[in-house]
Structure 1
Amino acid sequence: MSETGSHNDVPEQNLPSEHGAHGGDVAVPDDPFANPGHPPHEFRRQDIDERAAKHSERVTAGLFGLSMLGTIAFIACFVIFPVDKIVFIFPFGNVSALNFSLGLTLAVALIGIGAGAVHWARTLMSDEEFSDDRHSAGADDALRENVEQQWIQGAKESGFGRRKLIRNTMFGALTLVPLAGVVILRDLGPLPEDKLRHTLWSKGKVLINQNTNKPLRPEDVVVGSLTFAMPEGLEESQEDFQEQIAKAALMIIRIKPEDIKDKRERDWAHQGIVAFSKICTHVGCPISLYEQQTHHVLCPCHQSTFDLADGARVIFGPAGHALPQLRISVNDEGNLVALGDFEEPVGPAFWERG
């Protein structure tokens, strides 16, 4: 009986071989992971034609010059157009002339720099590719010297030192663009000057109860109570009410005279009735939490705590200094009145303390 292979056996003639069916050699495929290398470098027109290079230089300088004009126009528009001027611009409709002009001119200034840099890189800077082996993170002296030489070579090939027109216009554009940011800071509003140092309080101004809108009298303030007051003549219907009350708001507390530790506080009070600014000296939050037994008042924002029996000094929290006190007395009609303005600015301390 002859030997036969199983049905899974592959005939010998079907096995791969270095020879073909007729004895010829079979081609071995190339290594698919071989490094193909860089394609041959193709020179640009600017690389071989100096007139084309000069044209690209002028275009790049023109884009940088356009950026400078955009910055100058930005500053001019900021000065020329009033805030409330509305114009119709198709297809946007009615828009603010100031906002539209500032956005348009700033876009021109920034796009000019970007387009100029891109055109310079694509037409004049060297575009020849080269590869280098990966190095370890730590650089030895030879590698540092190699990088330095590459930097020098790159600067030379960019034409930065040779093409003065591009260099000067680029410096001009980069110098002018930040001016747009400096000028727009003016839009934050008028300078405060000494307005933050003054409130509506003055000699003879009656203390008005904010809850009843009636003048405060000494008998209205009992020991342990907390009352909020504002200057006479200030109405909630006024356009600048929030601005004024943010500086002039008062806390009125009555403390037994023998419990007041600070001499000046006692002298500025009336029969134990003291008036302190309601504005926290940390970040300007309104203070409203009063502890009757300890005479402590707490700011709800960051828990700064002030002792109203000891000149409203800070005993806890991030506030920088004591609450300003308003000197008060009583007029001929029996109403509580101020004897002047605060002697120091109210509110946060970061802007007025030298």
Structure 2
Amino acid sequence: MSDDTTLEKRHDAASAVVEEPIANPGLPAHVYRPTDIDPAAEKRAERQIAGLFVFAMLCVVGFAVSYFVFDIADNHDTVGGLGASTLALGLTLGGALLAIGIGMIQWARKLMNDHEIVEMRHPGRSSDEDREKVVADVLQGAEDSGIARRPLIRNTLLGALGLVGITPVLALRDLGPLPGDSLYHTPWTEGMRVAVDVLGTPIRPADMEIGSLVNGQPMSLYEENEEGEPLYEGVDLQVAKSKGSVILVKMEPGDIIHGKGRDNWTVDGVLCYSKICTHVGCPISLYERTTHHVLCPCHQSTFDLADSAKVVFGPAARPLPQLPLALDDEGYLIAQSDFIEAVGPSFWERDTLPEDGS
């Protein structure tokens, strides 16, 4: 019995499953594909499809390599005037998705069973017989796809899809550096001078008047290394400012209510607190000198700077972290240490830093 005769019988048997309610209106005879009658063409198509899936896997590997190789800093790599990282990531991820799509289309067009079916309209709820038939059709479709008997295609497809699934995980890295312990540390270190924000000049207590408020930053943000390059620049500078920004206020020493263990954290009535609101991280500086209250302009959280910056109003959940101050040999204000509390919004579960500083 010839292959054509066998295929015709299989086609007729599949068509006979559905009882036709109307006569054939004259549709052309079914035309068999080369892969239906030529085993060599079938194997060639299988290898082509598997090759597309392998190409998709190589594209994902290229995506991962491009992510780590090309620089996206201020002096970023370029190709033809375009950002090399963006170009490479787009081409490799697009190539992977395109290859998977083409491979699956070719699989359906060349290798899956090819026969016409008629699906009749039915009421909103199908009969039990129709539901059973749907399940049977799904199982038949899985059988027709040949996924069980074509392990080469199945395994390469799963490999390609699995590797493509890694790409969004890599892309998450662009949300910022891995936090590690960075949420608990700022540029402030023991002996770091307090500088006036923007100007970068150090501050003496005598430079401030009672009732005044000064925006400050760590002096290191304005310093250079031995080669004359800034210690902080670009994104690193912005991150350091977002964590190290402080406000300094000067009040009568008798107005200050020192927190537990903080008796020596002030110098001549000068106190220093984080400028970052503990609600959602807005910068604060609206100071009312008679009450010693400072207001966050975003959601009106109010802190009493005379009493360890405790919350007196608004949605903030904890006081502003206080920076312990001291004087250096030249009479300038310096930090005794980094903050002992994490600065910023309070949506992390934390109290003070561990005693070992980790």
TM over 0.5: yes
Indicate which of 279, 284, 288 corresponds to 1:291: 288
Indicate which of 319, 324, 335 corresponds to 1:327: 324
Structure 2: stretches of 5+ with no match in the other structure: 1-21, 225-229, 352-358
Distance 1:142 1:193, change over 3 A: same
Match of 1:130 in 2: 118
Q: Which amino acid aligns with 1:168?
A: N
- Residue 166 of structure 1 aligns to a residue in which SS? helix
Q: Which amino acid aligns with 1:131?
A: E
Counterparts of 1:350 and 1:44 in 2: how far apart (Å)?
64
Q: Which amino acid aligns with 2:57?
A: M
Q: Offset at 1:149? A: 1.6
Counterparts of 1:149 and 1:235 in 2: how far apart (Å)?
73
Which structure's CA Rg is the greater one?
Answer: 1
The answer to whether the 8 Å contact 2:186/2:244 transfers is: yes
Q: Which amino acid aligns with 2:214?
A: T
Match of 1:90 in 2: none
Alignment of 1:28-39 (within 5 A): 39=27
The answer to whether the 8 Å contact 1:281/1:322 transfers is: yes
The answer to whether the 8 Å contact 1:260/1:266 transfers is: no
Counterparts of 2:198 and 2:147 in 1: how far apart (Å)?
72
Q: Which amino acid aligns with 1:42?
A: H
Counterparts of 1:267 and 1:246 in 2: how far apart (Å)?
26
Counterparts of 1:80 and 1:214 in 2: how far apart (Å)?
40
Counterparts of 2:77 and 2:195 in 1: how far apart (Å)?
40
Alignment of 1:189-204 (within 5 A): 190-204=177-191
* 2:58 is the alignment partner of 1:69: yes
Deviations 1:275-313 (A, max 9, x none): 101112234321121233443322223433323233223
* 2:141 is the alignment partner of 1:154: yes
* Deviant stretches of 4+, over 6 Å: 34-38
Distance 1:111 1:232, change over 3 A: closer
* 2:306 is the alignment partner of 1:309: yes
**Deviates most, 181-190 or 335-344:** 181-190
* 2:250 is the alignment partner of 1:254: yes
Task: Report the aligned-residue RMSD.
Answer: 3.3
Distance 1:157 1:344, change over 3 A: same
Deviations 1:186-215 (A, max 9, x none): 455654443443333333333333376544
Indicate which of 221, 226, 236 corresponds to 2:208: 221
Q: Which amino acid aligns with 2:326?
A: S
Q: Offset at 1:98? A: 3.7
**Deviates most, 152-161 or 236-245:** 236-245
Q: Which amino acid aligns with 1:147?
A: V
Equivalenced residues, count: 315
Match of 2:334 in 1: 337
Counterparts of 1:165 and 1:171 in 2: how far apart (Å)?
10
Identity %: 47
- Residue 69 of structure 1 aligns to a residue in which SS? helix
- Residue 306 of structure 1 aligns to a residue in which SS? strand
Q: What TM-score do the two structures reach when normalised by structure 1? A: 0.74
Counterparts of 1:182 and 1:212 in 2: how far apart (Å)?
41
Alignment of 1:1-354 (within 5 A): 39=27, 42-45=30-33, 46-83=35-72, 84-87=76-79, 93-127=80-114, 128-136=116-124, 138=125, 141-186=128-173, 190-210=177-197, 213-235=200-222, 238=230, 239-240=232-233, 241-264=237-260, 267-331=264-328, 333-350=330-347, 353=350
Q: What TM-score do the two structures reach when normalised by structure 2? A: 0.74
